[in-house]
Chains A and B, each alone.
Chain A
């Protein structure tokens, strides 16, 4: 049984911090279909449209009937462990530093045999297992074999933690604790076992409901931070930057209206200043130091979470300039993801539908409670996801965008969308 994770000891200052290494990341183009699904937490394989054969590894043609129609479908992952090994030698630097490493061969009920990273709680073969698809440190899809039924401390498995970003015993920086969502995120992280939580708050002279209560949490330290002020960010980064394992950027500026319903560019400029340039400033100060700690023992830097919006994917005219600033932030987040990849630090983008706060007062339900957004963020960290679409509105947007992005644009222009 997995031993429960222990609070990490203080870092020995004499020991050199290891350089981050990555598992092999080269994949064929067709195999990236698995990564697309794994980024959202699904295990998908190709299933032939003609003969229904499920195949693996991914191919360019059906291995049974040669059809080229090979849609990706979700697989339940149940199967039989037919063989196992534990590697004590590896050709690759990343695994060489991590042996012993347990692997299994699983015959999926869906058909194919798959090689998997094997969770320590799976009993020796023959055994029933549940295979899931995770992103590894290189951001690539890999299959992991789990015990069929959950067991205690499962998340603490040494190998599994290479694929997840569980906040337990980790030190987290939440950039804005003044919003309802920011406060919910802090509480959820505290409940998830975060070791320390630094919470930024702009304009500290303004008394905001709830902030004082947050301060009562033993993990929490408030830090004055204004993401529009480079000096403020630099100051905070110099204080806590080298200790941050997970950064959650909750800072956002949100006003309603589009182009003609508002005069001037002051509001739009503020939205860009916080939502886009704020992310850029944070990334410039915290990115390099987190990258340097990608392999810093049990609690190395693991994740950077961006609170975006489903409006980043297509403009919601009623909140038009806000949508534009979130689209800009999304584009920058992709750049950040590419730059954090060599360190194995995961960039998680969260795309909630309208949150039930004062800035969405005039939008009809369903609206997401701040708590639901916070829970989605913690779940994404625990499951090691990369893109998260919490709530019914976000899910519907995803589906309609996939079905017809242009058609959906027309519907949004006509006032639909939420």
Chain B
């Protein structure tokens, strides 16, 4: 269908990774968290609100506001505004939307913001009214939320591929190790495989440490031109390629593959590099079964062979396959829509030479992958981006 060659992302710079330290529960609103992210972004860039002419926002709990109301709330007057309600895919999609706006000249300095709060009861309320299909066909069935949906998938994949809880546990344990040097991670104690295996069951076969912990937090990054980034002396990364896909493979009886499998050839063709060239990978890790699925669908190993891949690699920041180098959501926490930014912001820190924790040695190329929106029985949004080191701090 597409005959026109896709334009590359030349001239676009991605800079100023910002993480507002997460907390388990917050009495503040999503607006507060996103405001802190914008303030952090301006401070990090050394610029003022007036320098920002584009804004891109994600947050589940902004309701009844949208990005529009937030602009008045924050006193920002952008000439380009986007609101991306794509949960765990928000970061990758914000990146590609903002990059095109900058290339086209619709905006020159785009603040990409994601944040959510977590009141004591807000996660339950979000799950109960997440979507029409969830309300009609999922929530009345035990009200387990995403735990139940991913338990189905984990049960299916374990039975059909032979992957075990020990394999998934190896990913979780390695991410916890990565988190120990990352100051903003909510989990601060080491996790052993024994603790992982013996944790209390939540939704068989998922146990406690397979499940992300909802929390409050915010993330942000800046998308602008290379000239701007250089004039402001901002270290930046370049975008080599991006993909997104929604409602992939609707005929599959269960989601054993995601949209990445449809689009990864396109991704690597744009990027001019392949999976073997990645120095670090940030997958969307709400549950380890999804991490493993991305490793397969993004071509790091053949379909159905995540088990062998996991067994043949180490996933620490200094290991053979640095994965989710800040600890991922499983060890940092899942701050609503900010969960979709976490990997991207961490990749920026590593590529621009400003990691908060253990540095990935010689990080030149990073792959960031997103996944979001369990509408009924599967996550509908997938996306990925390949970034490369631009100028380092």
Contact = CB atoms under 8 A, between A and B. Distances in A.
Nearest to A34: B136
A73 interface: no
Give the dominant DSSP class at B's interface.
mixed
Interface stretch (B41-49, B140-148, B238-246, B310-318): B140-148
A125 B377 contact: no
B136 A31 contact: yes
Nearest to B206: A85
Nearest to A91: B124
A180 interface: no
A291 interface: no
B132 A28 contact: yes
A28 B144 contact: no
Contact of A23 (B127, B140, B201): B140
Contacts of B144: 85, 87, 89-91, 95, 103
B136 A82 contact: no
Given A28-B132, A83-B156, A103-B148, A88 B200 contact: yes
A87 B140 contact: no
A204 B142 CA distance: 50
A24 B155 contact: no
A24 B128 contact: yes
A54 interface: no
A142 B136 contact: no
A92 interface: yes
Interface string B118-142: 0000011001110011011111111
A354 interface: no
Interface residues of B, number: 38
Contact of B203 (A85, A92, A105, A115): A85
Contacts of B206: 85
Interface stretch (A56-64, A323-331, A393-401, A407-415): A56-64
A26 interface: yes
Given A24-B140, A28-B136, 18 more contacts: A57-B137, A63-B250, A84-B155, A86-B204, A87-B147, A87-B202, A88-B200, A88-B204, A92-B142, A92-B143, A103-B148, A107-B253, A113-B254, A115-B141, A115-B377, A116-B141, A117-B142, A140-B140
23 contacts: A24-B128, A24-B143, A26-B128, A56-B137, A58-B136, A83-B156, A83-B254, A85-B152, A85-B205, A86-B203, A87-B144, A88-B201, A88-B204, A91-B123, A91-B124, A92-B128, A92-B142, A105-B152, A113-B253, A113-B377, A116-B141, A117-B142, A142-B140
Interface of A: 23-28, 31, 56-58, 63, 82-92, 94-95, 99, 101, 103, 105, 107, 113-117, 125, 136, 138, 140, 142
Interface of B: 123-124, 127-129, 132-133, 135-145, 147-148, 151-153, 155-156, 159, 200-206, 250, 253-254, 376-377
